[in-house]
Structures are given as structure tokens and as C-alpha cells.
Structure 1
Amino acid sequence: MALPPSFKQAHKEDLEAIVQILVKIANRPAQQIKPHLDTMLEQLLEPEERPFYETATPQEWVSAFREWVESHRGLNLPPLSDEAISRESIYGERG
């Protein structure tokens, strides 16, 4: 996402002041500073994507879970035996 020209125009003086301060601090020419400043501003102005768990509907949760289950079906793993999942084998002497 590039900074819109309207943003650059609306904040032209502020952006130039920031560039001049960074030129002094970094001891580099403005041509080297501007691309980094643009990239940083793009990241700051870009709306953050909210995580799935905050935005998903119950149906989306169900769908995602089913997709996850299906993604494991092709692994061709042997099933666990009854002995492997017995209470005794899981808890041992703590039973």
C-alpha cells in the first residue's frame, strides 16, 4: 500500500520536517531517508488485521475446524491401540 498523494499533500510540511530531523540524526541525505520514512508510515497507517478468533462467526469456526481435521486425514498414521489409550497406560501407577 503506497501513501496516497492526498496524505502526502496534506502533511507535506510535517513530513519534510521529519525528513530534515532524520537527516540530522542519521547523517544521511534526504534521498536515503524518504523511502524508509514512507515504508514506516505505510506500516503505521495500514489497518491491522484482527485475528481469526476475534472476528469468526460460529459457522466459520466449524468450517475452519473441519478443514483442519481434513488436513490430517491424508497423513496415513496408524490408529492408536486400545492399550495405548487406556487409563493405565496414560496415568501409570497414579491410576
Structure 2
Amino acid sequence: MLHDFQQSHQQDIQTITQVLAKITNRTPAQIKPLLDAMLKRLIEPQQRPFYETATPTQWSIVFQEWVDSHRTLNLLTLSDEAISRESIYGDK
């Protein structure tokens, strides 16, 4: 799709490249990849975000991967005694 657009608007793209090169003090070779990337984002259809297209199974898999990624951290855990009601509130 981008290639077809570039072919049909070749003269305009060259003009834009020259103008951008002139106003940014960059060479056309430096401008062209940036312009191509911008045109690609503007012209090609955007992929819908994961949250719009994911199935419940896909959500489950991604969530489990996220949980597993946190298990690799060596975090200290509190004992049952440390988080018991008695240790929190003391003797009243």
C-alpha cells in the first residue's frame, strides 16, 4: 500500500523531501527514511490493540505470563505470624 502511494505521488514526495531538507539543514538522504516512516504510519491501516481483539484464552495466557514474570523476583515475604491480627493490633 505504501509503495503504491509513493509511486503515485513520487513528485510530491520529492518536493516535500527537498523542502524538509532545506528547512531542517539535513540532507535528502537523512529526510527520506523519516518521511517514509511517517507516511507508513499515516497510510497503512493500524493494527487494533490487543485489548480490543484478544479472546479470554489469550487474556489468560498473557496474564499468567505477567504473573510468572514477577515470581522471578527474590522478594522477602512475611511469615503468617508477622501478618496475624494479634501482631498487627497487639493485645487490647
TM range (shorter): 0.5 to 0.7
Task: Please say if 1:9 is aligned against 2:7.
Answer: yes
Alignment equivalent of 1:41, drawn from 36, 39, 42 = 39
Alignment correspondent of 2:80: 82
Equivalent residue pairs, number: 90
RMSD: 3.5
Normalising by structure 1, report the TM-score. Answer: 0.56
Q: Cα gap change, 1:30/1:70 in structure 2, threshold over 3 Å: closer, same or farther?
A: closer
Q: How far apart, CA to CA, are the structure 1 residues paired with 2:26 and 2:77?
A: 63
Q: How far apart, CA to CA, are the structure 1 residues paired with 2:44 and 2:86?
A: 54
Q: How far apart, CA to CA, are the structure 1 residues paired with 2:73 and 2:29?
A: 53
Q: Which segments of 5 or more consecutive residues in structure 1 lack a partner in the other structure?
A: none
Task: Please say if 1:56 is aligned against 2:54.
Answer: yes
Q: Which segments of 5 or more consecutive residues in structure 2 lack a partner in the other structure?
A: none
Normalising by structure 2, report the TM-score. Answer: 0.57
Q: How far apart, CA to CA, are the structure 2 residues paired with 1:78 and 1:26?
A: 54
Structure 1 counterpart of 2:21, which letter?
V
Q: How far apart, CA to CA, are the structure 2 residues paired with 1:83 and 1:62?
A: 33
For residue 51 of structure 1, report the CA deviation from its aligned partner: 3.9
For residue 55 of structure 1, report the CA deviation from its aligned partner: 2.6
Percent of aligned pairs with the same amino acid: 59
Q: Cα gap change, 1:86/1:40 in structure 2, threshold over 3 Å: closer, same or farther?
A: same
